[in-house]
Structure 1
């Protein structure tokens, strides 16, 4: 390890300090891609990629495009052969660490904005977003695709509902709480310019869980 460089390993991610600057070094491997294997039955709903090269390409493409309502960390270096991406470290609070209903409101607005831009995330879990200085950054987007496919957008909406529930498991079994989260999410998705047509499909897929 070079002198003056400290490393903290977090699975496939290293946070490296270089001359006082924190840099996130993310290594993509096919072995780590196995975590997505459980989603094979859902590939008709979303085009998940399991390969390291595919996930790196998707993350790079998303992070290097401008987005109106979400910030992205600066990319310092990409090694396509070794499949390594180095980006800026974002200090802040994850959406998964705030009140879950507030997280639902913010996530709905993010998805509405990205869907208008023609992007789908595939993995919109709250821990992939960080609030920093009043702005929201995305720090993991290795399944993001540019598409107008409405089925993929519906996947973003439905998976968000279940991913948000993971952060409040006890309340998630209460019908009123599920309805409250559904309405907060839906209202804010519409207010942010999301499609009412997609929300109708979203409701149809969730109505049995909202009872």
Structure 2
């Protein structure tokens, strides 16, 4: 496993909106949605999204706070999230449970990818889409995964948005591996990507054919061409189409 910090981690650190608080020696997470770097991050993402309309991102701090707290407070969702302890709507900030886990590691074995694919399917089965599914938003504790960032989560059964969630996760994994192993990325990603997708298909209650068929839509083809370098764009596209043909 590489000790290098990938593009995703560098960006994540720069735009960080959270800090650890200690109360009576117990750790908690304090998150400020109006913190300037976080606003800058979502401004760029929303601006880029205007051209392809892949997902209904929101920029305004209160809107992002509403989305995240609504998702985390939902007792009927099928995935684990931290408990929110305090909501401050004046400062648009929260204090939540600290989860002492390990961020999903792109170099986890293929079985972990299969399990996380199932987790994403469970989110979609719960009636939610995430918008932001970069791998650093998932924490692993023992055999369980937690979603620790849900600023763009909304209730939706849109197959377009479900495909977006799949694409974002895989893209951030690819970026990390490109930094660490630029000449081995396609070999490292094939099996992991395949297991993630098969895990997703094994658990999704929606029509996975309809979800994955978004690979042929103009807006998603444009995004894939822009964000995935050759030959990874071809590998991703071919793998999705093979699953559609099953």
- TM normalised by structure 1 equals 0.84
User: Using the alignment, how far apart are the partners of 2:173 and 2:119 within structure 1?
Assistant: 14
3-state secondary structure, aligned to 1:137 = strand
Q: Shift of residue 36 of structure 1?
A: 1.9
2:41 matched residue in structure 1: 35
Greater helix percent: which structure?
2
Q: Shift of residue 171 of structure 1?
A: 5.9
3-state secondary structure, aligned to 1:96 = coil
3-state secondary structure, aligned to 1:26 = strand
1:13 matched residue in structure 2: 18
1:201 to 214, 217, 221: 214
Greater strand percent: which structure?
1
User: Using the alignment, how far apart are the partners of 1:52 and 1:136 within structure 2?
Assistant: 26
**Aligned 1:19-168 pairs, distance under 5 A:** 19-29=24-34, 31=36, 32-39=38-45, 40-43=47-50, 44-66=53-75, 69-96=78-105, 98-99=107-108, 101-168=110-177
User: Using the alignment, how far apart are the partners of 2:48 and 2:208 within structure 1?
Assistant: 27
Segments of structure 2 that go 5 or more residues without pairing to the other structure are 1-14, 225-231, 239-246
User: Using the alignment, how far apart are the partners of 1:172 and 1:38 within structure 2?
Assistant: 30
Is the Cα–Cα contact under 8 Å of residues 78 and 122 in structure 2 kept in the other structure?
A: yes
Q: Shift of residue 143 of structure 1?
A: 0.8
Is the Cα–Cα contact under 8 Å of residues 165 and 172 in structure 1 kept in the other structure?
A: no
User: Using the alignment, how far apart are the partners of 1:65 and 1:161 within structure 2?
Assistant: 26
- How many residues align? The count is 202
Q: Shift of residue 182 of structure 1?
A: 3.2
Q: Shift of residue 159 of structure 1?
A: 1.3
User: Using the alignment, how far apart are the partners of 1:127 and 1:58 within structure 2?
Assistant: 19
User: Using the alignment, how far apart are the partners of 2:71 and 2:195 within structure 1?
Assistant: 27
3-state secondary structure, aligned to 1:22 = strand
- TM normalised by structure 2 equals 0.73
Is the Cα–Cα contact under 8 Å of residues 21 and 27 in structure 2 kept in the other structure?
A: yes
Segments of structure 1 that go 5 or more residues without pairing to the other structure are 1-9
3-state secondary structure, aligned to 1:167 = helix
Is the Cα–Cα contact under 8 Å of residues 55 and 164 in structure 2 kept in the other structure?
A: yes
1:4 matched residue in structure 2: none
